[in-house]
Structure 1
Amino acid sequence: MAGRLTGRTAVVTGGSTGIGQEIARRLAVEGADIAVADIDPADETRDLVAETGRRFFSDKVDVSDEDAIVGFAARVRRELGTADILVNNAAVVLPAGIDHVTFDEWRSTFAVNVDGPFLTSRAFLPDLKESGSGRVINITSASYWTPPPAFVSYVSAKGALNGFTSVLATGLAVHGITVNGVAASLVRTATASENMSESFFEQTVRMQNIKRVQMPADVSGVVAFLASDDAAFITGQIVVADGGGTRR
């Protein structure tokens, strides 16, 4: 049976592990061919996509490098054709407050979390226009509304990404392109488990209406919906998928 995204090509940045890997897998299940940009190898993601029978392409790419992104976009077109869906998921998290974060660290956080979505969106804009029903989905964070003070650069960057999502939606609607964000809570990934204490996970759960830790599939399902025709009349929105932690 055909999925909601059959015949489309989706680009996922930061798709080698964690949330990005699950998004790539879910979009493939829905019928999309998948291209992944990541600084790490995406072999595991390739295998997951192969199980769905969809085509896959990946490349080692620093999303904050303009030349690298432009080259990646050209290779995706050659391997899979033009892209219909762009998921800006690549991110870095720096757990430091203003007293401890350096300016270089601040800049590097913004380079990946904000410059990356800008560069990638611009590089794939011709594809999205050609699609006629292009989708841009930015993975942001519910921490923007409940900011922990020790994440000053990360929360600030995600706030900027929210603004980018809004203005891009306004500018690209004329081309039939929708632009939305998905704001997740603290998601249980291997990286998060390595860098966050279990007590931090427990504290996050206590703040939520839904009393369990958020998993990558809780994000990928929302992304799949926003990428589909079911969400054709939704744009400029930040969908908060955080178990009710912010109660917006």
Structure 2
Amino acid sequence: MNAHAATDTAASSTTALPLKEQLVLVTGGARGLGAAISAAFLDAGAKVVVNYRSSSQAAEELAAAFPGQALALQADVRDAAGLKDLAAAAAEHFGRPITTLVNNALVDFSFNADARSKADELSAEELTAQFAGSVLAPVAAIQAVLPSMRQAGFGRIVNIGTNLFQHPVVPYHDYTATKAALLSLTRTFADDLGPEGINVNMVSGGLLRTTDASAATPEEVFDLIASGTPLRRVTSPAELADAVLFFASPLSRGVTGQNLIVDGGLVKG
């Protein structure tokens, strides 16, 4: 093997860690979409930190179903110091650094258009609250795990977005605006961290059938969305979780700074 080939092989090995060798942190990983993502990684053989804020019972039950493979840890993602403590506790428990982060946590939001503020009602307080949960918190989580990823020489960051940025059909102004900001950070962080072998991508779903956040959505809304998709159905949390696994797996080693929309084909491009 010549020197060039050896370099290519070394670079490939550092940027393509199998899922079974990864330690994954899923924020808000105990319920809804987060639970589906946690379960998907666990089924794939990864070690998983199931983060929760108040859903201790759900987190502990999920971890108990995968003894030795999953760990439930409490932290409010808006607490940067708490996230750093969580990352340290996870690394100590599993004896390895965190290699993959899924920024999934959604703080205090319900997908019920009737309960959301319209354009003439939207307040600075609402925007500030969503910015704290959907922008500042993911940044804090990334910063908390960066030392671990640098130690491993490998990293995968997957941010959860929304297709409402491309298809704003409901007045979730605060939620959509902050997810758009998170998409921008996805791309700038991808450029910043790429030279260190850390890939940063986003998976954007539409309305999911059904999570805690979408439980208040009327059935006729689900039916309307389903009728507008090529698949004629609403995407499930498990289907979106599959896309998250893709971005963490060796199959995506050449992909970074991207936003994959997983909504049954409702939004094009």
TM over 0.5, shorter chain:
yes
Q: Does 1:209 align with 2:230?
A: yes
Structure 2, unaligned runs of 5 or more: 1-16, 111-115
Shift, 1:23, TM fit:
0.3
Computing the radius of gyration over CA atoms, which structure comes out larger, 1 or 2?
2
Q: Is the 8 A contact 1:25 1:45 kept in 2?
A: no
User: Please, which of 113, 123, 132 is the counterpart of residue 144 of structure 2?
Assistant: 123
TM-score after normalising by structure 1: 0.93
**1:148 corresponding residue in structure 2:** 169
Q: Does 1:236 align with 2:250?
A: no
Distance 1:55 1:43 in 2: 17
TM-score after normalising by structure 2: 0.86
Q: Which amino acid aligns with 2:180?
A: G
Q: Which amino acid aligns with 1:75?
A: A
Q: Is the 8 A contact 1:140 1:158 kept in 2?
A: yes
1:217–1:149 Cα change, 3 Å: closer
Identity of aligned residues (%): 29
* Paired positions, count: 246
Distance 1:216 1:149 in 2: 20
Q: Is the 8 A contact 1:140 1:181 kept in 2?
A: yes
Shift, 1:180, TM fit:
0.5
**1:12 corresponding residue in structure 2:** 26
**1:60 corresponding residue in structure 2:** 74
Distance 1:43 1:232 in 2: 35
Distance 2:248 2:60 in 1: 20
Distance 1:241 1:44 in 2: 26
What is the DSSP-based 3-state SS (H/G/I as helix, E as strand, rest coil) of the residue aligned with 1:222?
Answer: helix
**1:222 corresponding residue in structure 2:** 243
Q: Is the 8 A contact 2:162 2:206 kept in 1?
A: yes
Q: Does 1:39 align with 2:53?
A: yes
Q: Does 1:87 align with 2:102?
A: yes
Q: Is the 8 A contact 2:207 2:214 kept in 1?
A: no
Q: Deviations over 1:117-166 (max 9, x none)?
A: 10000110011122222100001011110013410000001101110100
- Runs of 4+ aligned structure 1 residues displaced above 6 Å come to none
Structure 1, unaligned runs of 5 or more: none
RMSD value, Cα = 1.8
Which stretch of the first structure deviates more once superposed, 125-134 or 53-62? 53-62
